[in-house]
Homo-oligomer: A and B are copies of this chain.
Amino acid sequence: MHYPDSFSRITQVMKSSLIRELVASTKNIPDLISFAGGFPSPATFPTQQLAELFEEVIKNGGSDVLQYGASEGDILLKKQLMQWEGYELKPEEMVITVGATNAIYYYARCLINPGDVILCEAPSFLGTLVTFDAIEADCQSVPINDEGIIIEELEEKVKILHQQGKNIKFLYIIPDFHNPAGITYSLQRRKEIIQFCIDNNIPILEDNPYSRLRFYGEPVPTFYQVARTDFAPTNIVTEIVSFSKILGPGLRIAYAKGDKELIEKMVSWQQKVTITPDCVAERAVARFLEKGLMDTHLKYIAEYYRPYLQKMLDELEKQMPPEVQWTKPEGGIFLWLTLPEYINADELFVEASKHKVSFIPGSKFYPEGQEKFNTLRLNFTYSTFEQIEQGIRSLAELLKEKIK
């Protein structure tokens, strides 16, 4: 039988992640310097400790961790997470999931009927945009500046969408060391957005995989924290935290914190989609936290990544023509370049591949039809110093040729 004929409507039109295709397209180029990926460096994985903890949790608790777990997540991990977060939180305000995308998927399933609007940043994380597409949401993007979404633009967008009779279901935000833009929301901007969303009854989905990857400066409280302290009582923010960038993506452990009734429905979705997250990995992460290993480990990661960020910032400063601008993050894993408007980064991508350097063109980070083409994303955590120096030089040379 010919399956494509009977695929569901959404399966027929669903897009795959363009990043994977782009990365695949350069796979066979020898000696390619790639700033394209979003992978953490394996040097930051606490391999030895995790190897021992996995062995320990199976040996000492095999009958428990090898058995079916709870759909809401392991209660022992929840206890550790509540302590780690450092503020009062109830187990029923939390669900553990198979990575952050999984939590985002359940959240969106809870709220979205086909055609409903999700407000997102321009640019936003491509992986999430394709997930929202698969749920048949209408993603509408709002421009950001160095401090986050521009409030006036947000107001204007919401006004227009209401005039069009659209149903706005939530605002999707990446608060710290933004993927792809590298920016971090200012405290002031966080407050303004929360106030606006309360006034307009728009829930906020805060996707926070990077805030613990801070190499310089002082942390800013998350939207979730700001809402709790400055706007209590409000349940408007749901925050998603992932261990992918701080322990290892292969573990597939993340969690969401938010309104009890909403979390209950996310759990109900999890029951139908995976039944429960991986119980062995849950317990190993619980033990990692319980043994107090996280603080030291986060300091180690910061020490490890800081020179790479610094190296890339230095090289950009040294090599790039004055017409090119970039964000200067204090952590995370990405930088965002803005080129003169007449340079198309999609075309640059093809030429750069020939010069053995790769990145992700910025156009991939906008909902379809809302693209900007003079931007690109650079990752600095998966290359050597030499590669960063050489890669940025090649890119700068290419750009100098193009700049009039």
Contacts and interface: CB of A to CB of B under 8 A. Distances in A.
Interface of A: 1, 3-4, 6-11, 14, 16-17, 20, 39-40, 42, 45, 47-48, 50-52, 54-56, 58-59, 62-69, 71, 98-99, 101-102, 105, 109-113, 116, 127, 130-131, 134, 169, 198, 201, 203, 234-236, 244, 247-252, 259, 261-262, 265, 268-269, 271-281
A160 to B, nearest CB: 20
B68 A47 contact: no
Given A11-B265, A271-B16, A278-B278, A62 B50 contact: yes
Given A6-B203, A8-B111, A112-B8, A16 B66 contact: no
A381 to B, nearest CB: 12
Contacts of A101: 272-275
Contacts of A4: 261
Nearest to A17: B271
A66 to B, nearest CB: 3
Copies in the complex: 2
26 contacts: A1-B235, A1-B259, A3-B203, A3-B261, A6-B169, A8-B112, A8-B116, A11-B110, A11-B269, A14-B268, A14-B272, A16-B271, A20-B71, A20-B271, A42-B64, A50-B58, A51-B58, A55-B55, A66-B248, A98-B278, A101-B273, A134-B269, A251-B280, A252-B278, A273-B273, A278-B278
Contact of A130 (B47, B59, B63, B272): B272
A304 to B, nearest CB: 14
Contacts of A51: 54-56, 58-59, 62
Contacts of A45: 62-63, 66-67
A130 B45 CA distance: 38
A249 B3 contact: no
A39 B250 CA distance: 26
B58 A47 contact: yes
A257 to B, nearest CB: 14
A40 B50 CA distance: 27
Nearest to A37: B68
Contacts of A134: 269, 272
A341 B52 CA distance: 56
A262 B4 CA distance: 8
Contact of A250 (B66, B127, B248): B66
B54 A42 contact: no
A210 to B, nearest CB: 16
A234 to B, nearest CB: 8
